[in-house]
Structure 1
Amino acid sequence: MGQQGFQGTGEYVASQELMASVNIAVALKKPLLIKGEPGTGKTMLAEAVAKALGKRLIVWNIKSTTKAQEGLYVYDTIQRLYDGQFGEEGVNDIARYIKLGKLGEAFDSDEQVVLLIDEIDKADLEFPNDLLWELDQMEFYINETKRTVKAKQRPIVIITSNAEKELPDAFLRRCIFHYIDFPDRELMEEIVRVHYPDVEENLLKNAMEVFYNIRAIRDIRKKPSTSELIDWINALQIGGIPADTIRRALPFVGVVVKKDEDLQLVRSEPGL
């Protein structure tokens, strides 16, 4: 990792606090739990850390139906039964039918990897608790083959949450926690310029002014995210929109505002 640790990348602008949290989690060998509004770069952080440290990224996307066991391994009984019916050789070798999940793959890697457990709060409430032993001990047992899979190199574990559900206290105690605040205007300008270094000054100024004013509307249901601002600025550039018409005409505002009710609010808001 080097003496300076994670410093962000050319494509990912990180705050000093976020960089410090990443480096502390790596140093303490603890999972880093990242929360924040959708669109604040939680998932992209893992990609940036992997790139900056020169490590392979393994992504475990969590869904409402995901079980912790799937991250460790699955025993493909259907394939074994199928092979048995058709006389395939090696059908008695159960190990052939053990498929490692994303966590198992991270443990079994000869090189240290970055493991992203993305949107952990989408799963049921027992999911985080079911991973406590494995994340603590960095190993798990495959009952069918009587094999213990122990991490060859402890992965750097980054876990994201959109705070849809409260995570168990026992799980939180094992993590380093960081909340990604929504970028202030100075940091946001830096982020936009990473994507569009030649963006015209007045266009950027006017677009950001409207963007933050929309986010400040009291009753707005879905506040626009960083990624939506970036898309909007791209649309304004492609459309050749004069900077001084942005506040008045709100061109391509559907790139930023995605709900009917919010669109009505924005269009009725004087002096955006």
Structure 2
Amino acid sequence: MQDIAGEGCGEVNDGVILVMIGGLPACGKTSLCKKIQTYLEDIRMECKLFCYDEVLNEELEDGGFTSEKWKKSRNLIYKQTIKTINEFKCIVKSGWKIIILDDNFYYKSMRHEFVQICQEFTIAHIQIILKCNVETCIERDAKRSQPVGEDIIRSMNIRFEYGKSSFSDNIIYMEYDTDNFSEMDSISSKIIDLFPLAKPLQDLNKMKQEMKEESQRQNEQSFKKQLDDSLRKKTSHLIQHNLIKKEHAKKLSDLKKDILKSVSQCDDISYYEHLFDEKVKEFQ
């Protein structure tokens, strides 16, 4: 993934939370998202809602559905999400800054790409999946002005992948039953109650790389310490047993320093000891 986190103002704000709400068509996603958005706006919290269907419908105004338009609409929301995160991270005032994504998200891979964004930006992430009886969804969908269609809903129901899209401990994942629309107020309250519990995700790949580099650094330091001790003993032995003139002691010290500087990785220590011995012969 590209280094998208570096494009903002540089300020880190722990209040940014990316909330993903998914489920079958007509399960109540958009109604729930707008309830949450209205509540947050009423209490003057920053909130941005991205509805995939609305963006896709705008793309379809100049013609019928195509896979290219579908991909374009999803890519547009992806970019807008990144832009909004950068904007929210620059806001100084305290309080939540909530980004809500409203889509089916039936494959875990669809959800995981946003997990990666959260890791890149070190922001909190909540995944909400609404579970609704497929027959209820079909019935509701048929009453809409632009129905998705029974075949698509049944197909999506078969393919839907429930569960976390990542094993990150800090991802909050919840499922709610939305067969009964009267439960929407209760569900929205439960989701809002999750906000204080949300913790920023960490970029695991970056953490692993940093740990690897730190381990390499420590190993190199340990190796240099062992080599330094070994060369000190060799130097002392040469001087104490008159195997080299005392006026060459400074040269031995400089030689030891040069060899230690040349160590770039943890090679076999005997290699550097042999190198030291060969150089010493030039002084004898």
Structure having the higher helix fraction is: 2
Q: Point out the structure with max Rg over C-alpha.
A: 2
What is the TM-score with the length of structure 2 in the denominator?
A: 0.29
What is the TM-score with the length of structure 1 in the denominator?
A: 0.30
